[in-house]
Amino acid sequence: MTLKTVEWKNNVVIMIDQTKLPSKLEYVKYTNYKDIAYAIKSLIVRGAPAIGVSGAFGLALAVSNSKSKTKEELLTELEKIKKILYDTRPTAVNLGWALDKIMNVAKQGTSVSEIKDIVISTAKQMAEDDIQINMKMGKNGAILFENNDIVMTHCNAGALATVSYGTALGVIRATKENGKKIKVIATETRPVQQGSRLTAFELQHDGIDVSLIPDTAVGYTMAKGLVNKVIVGADRILRTGHVFNKIGTYQVALIAKQHGIPFYVAAPLSSFDLKSKPEDVVIEQRKADELTSIAGKKTAPDNIDVLNPAFDMTPPEFIAGIITEAGIAKPPFEESIKKLFEANK
């Protein structure tokens, strides 16, 4: 059974604690939005779609615990909580998308009890939809992959980055479900090692052939012909096809281009930001200790200056296709992305 990353059961949010993987598959239970905000910030839950649904569940916990007596009071309380949840991680567009969606339905409620019901049911529906969307995306993307492909992926865009099934790894799952043999090469993904801790763990868990390389071996692996396709997820995709994803994605795309290896991105329509320009996107900067120590052991001298951006931008000219639940956008992306959204209205 594919892992279920985040779930709502009887007014409790249950999540896999991803900071404990791969050593322990442990679940945490939360009944307060503050814990959800902490879980997102500290990477207990991470990955663009998973943090979107978690944010929605945060607002659902907020309404379920609220003592507000009037609609206006409840909406004011929710706006404040939305901001706290929103501020946890700035780059993935899905978080803001999910919080806005919940606030919009909340505003349509006519009474406190109606708002509570509608917020909780919408958040639960978003979690269900996430799995269906990933499965559709998987089906759409699987046609791009052949029997015996060896596919590189970076970071974790799998079940653990979504409610379940995954985006990039969902395409890998669907390819395998279609009866094709497929091997995955996962990059370690320093500094927090989503590749070795999470992608390697979840693919092994599901019996999908996976091997691990250090980030520094991407060039070596491609130059040796040990990989013939790349697929990654995305935290934000612009109208122009610029893709923001885990730091290091840009390097993988550059090297893939140099070796003529097609580089694909898989992401739901909720990961698109059709308004921003590349320079508007805030790149999250994370704490220095992610870089100056490994598992609590010092790996750099004291007081060293550190630059630790969590994401980078891959320009459209490095991308062969963007796989979504509504179809595959191919270059030129400005046109093909517009068409996808028009067809999906």
**Active site (annotated) includes residue 235:** yes
Show the binding pattern over residues 246-275: x = contacts ligand MRU (CB under 6 A), - = does not.
Answer: x-----------------------------
Nearer to ligand MRU, 222 or 232 (CB): 232
What is the C-alpha separation between 322 and 279, in angstroms, rounded? Answer: 21
| 167 touches ligand MRU (CB under 6 A) | yes
The CA-based dihedral angle spanning residues 100, 315, 202, 145, taken in that order and rounded to the nearest 10 degrees? 120
Q: Distance between CA atoms of 62 and 147, rounded to whole angstroms? A: 48
Is residue 323 within 8 A of residue 314, CB to CB? The reply is no
Q: Is residue 49 within the footprint of ligand MRU (CB under 6 A)?
A: yes
Part in contact with ligand MRU (CB under 6 A); list of ranges 45-53, 57-65, 139-147, 289-297? 45-53
Q: How far apart (Å, rounded) are the C-alpha atoms in residues 135 and 17?
A: 24
Residue tagged active-site, from 130, 149, 206, 235: 235
Q: How many CB atoms lie within 10 A of CB 314?
A: 25
Piece of the chain touching ligand MRU by CB under 6 A; list 4-12, 46-54, 60-68, 333-341: 46-54
**Distance from C-alpha of 76 to C-alpha of 67, rounded to nearest angstrom:** 12
Q: Is the dihedral of CA 101, 103, 105, 107 positive or negative?
A: negative
47 touches ligand MRU by CB under 6 A: yes
Q: Looking at residues 191 to 210 of the shown chain, list those that interact with ligand MRU (rule: CB under 6 A).
A: 194
Interface map 61-100 toward ligand MRU (x if CB under 6 A)? -------------------------------x--------
Residue closest to ligand MRU when measured from CB atoms: 233
Q: Which helix (H) or strand (E) holds 9?
A: strand 6-9
User: Binding ligand MRU by CB under 6 A: which of 2, 122, 140, 162?
Assistant: 162
The only residue of 3, 81, 310, 322 in contact with ligand MRU, by rule CB under 6 A:
310
- CB-based burial label for 82 (10 Å; 0-12, 13-18, 19+): buried
The piece of 27-35, 47-55, 95-103, 173-181 that touches ligand MRU (CB under 6 A) is 47-55
E strand spans, 139-286: 149-153, 182-187, 210-213, 229-232, 236-238, 243-246, 263-266, 272-273
Chain length of the chain:
345
DSSP single-letter state for residue 308: -
Nearer Cβ to ligand MRU (89/116):
89
Instruction: Among 39, 48, 53, 127, indicate the residue that binds ligand MRU (CB under 6 A).
Output: 48
User: Closest approach of Cβ 344 to ligand MRU, in Å?
Assistant: 19
Residues with a known catalytic role: 235
**Residues engaged in binding ligand MRU (CB under 6 A):** 46-49, 92, 155, 157, 161-162, 167, 194, 232-235, 245-246, 310
